[in-house]
Amino acid sequence: MRRYLTLYWYFLLQRFKILLEYRANFMIGASSTIILQIAGLLTIWVVMGQIPDLNGWGFDEVLLVYGLITLAKSINHMFADNLWTIGWSYVRSGQFDRFLVRPIDPLFHLLADRFCHDGIGNFLVGAALVAKSTASLGIAWTPFNALYLAVAVLSGGAIFIALNLITATSVFWITESIPVTQVIFNTHEFAQYPLTIYHRGIQILLTWVLPYGLASFYPASFLLGREVGALAWLSPVVALALLVIAFRVWLFGLRHYSGTGS
C-alpha cells in the first residue's frame, strides 16, 4: 500500500508539472466545469421560483442535495476520469498494453496516469453550495457533522467510481465503453433533487440498484434532521461492496482482453 501511495504521489506531481506548463488550459478546464454547474443551478433556481416547495423541500435544502452529489462527483472526475477515455485513448490505440508489462497493477496505472483538473471546478462549486446552504439552514458544524460529511462525500465518490468501473469494463468486449458508461452515469442527475419527489420505483432504483441517492439525498436528510433510518449510514458499506464487485468485474474483463492489433 505504501508503495502505491508513493507511486501515485509521483504520478500526481508529474501531472501538475505538465498542467503548469499550460496554465491557460488549466484555468479553462477548471473554470469550464464551474460554468456548467452554474447552468444546472440556474435550472434549480427557475424550478424553485415556480415551485417554492418540492414535496417539503425548500430552495436551500435542494441546494444541499445538489452540493453533496457535486462534491461526490468531483472525486470521480478528478481521480478516475480515465475510465471514460479507456476505449479511445488506450484500448483502441493499443496503449493499454503498456499497463500489462509494467510491474504495477494495471487498474492503478490507468487511474494514476491522469489527474483530471476539470474536477477541481466541480469540487469548488460543491463546497460552496454546501457551505451556503448549511449556513442558510442553520446547520451547526460540529466535529461529528464534519466527519459525517467527509465520510458521506468520500463514500459517494467511491460509488461513482465503482459504477463507472463496472460499465467501463465493457471496453474489453466492445472497444468503446462511453455509451454504456453514459447511460448509467447520467442517472445520477435524478439524485440532484430530493428522491421523495419521484415515483417509488425511481427511489428504489437510486437507493438499491444505482445508489447515487446515498451520495446526496440521504446524507442531506441526516444533516437536516429528517428521519431516514439506517439509510443515513449505509453509504460507506455500499461503497465498499460496490468497489469489491467493480474490481472483480474488472479482473474478469481483463482476463478476456486480447488487444486490438493497433
* 174 in a structural domain: yes
Q: How many domains does the chain have?
A: 1
Which structural domain, as residue segments, surrounds residue 215? Answer: 2-255
Nearest to 37 by CA among 119, 118, 120, 122: 122
* 219 in a structural domain: yes
Q: State pTM to two decimals.
A: 0.92
Read off the amino acid at residue 160. F
Q: What is the pLDDT of residues 62-107, one digit of tens each?
A: 999 999 999 999 999 999 999 999 998 999 888 999 999 888 999 9
C-alpha cell at position 215: 451520495
More confident residue, 232 or 51: 232
* 260 in a structural domain: no
Nearest to 219 by CA among 259, 254, 191: 191
* 116 in a structural domain: yes
* 261 in a structural domain: no
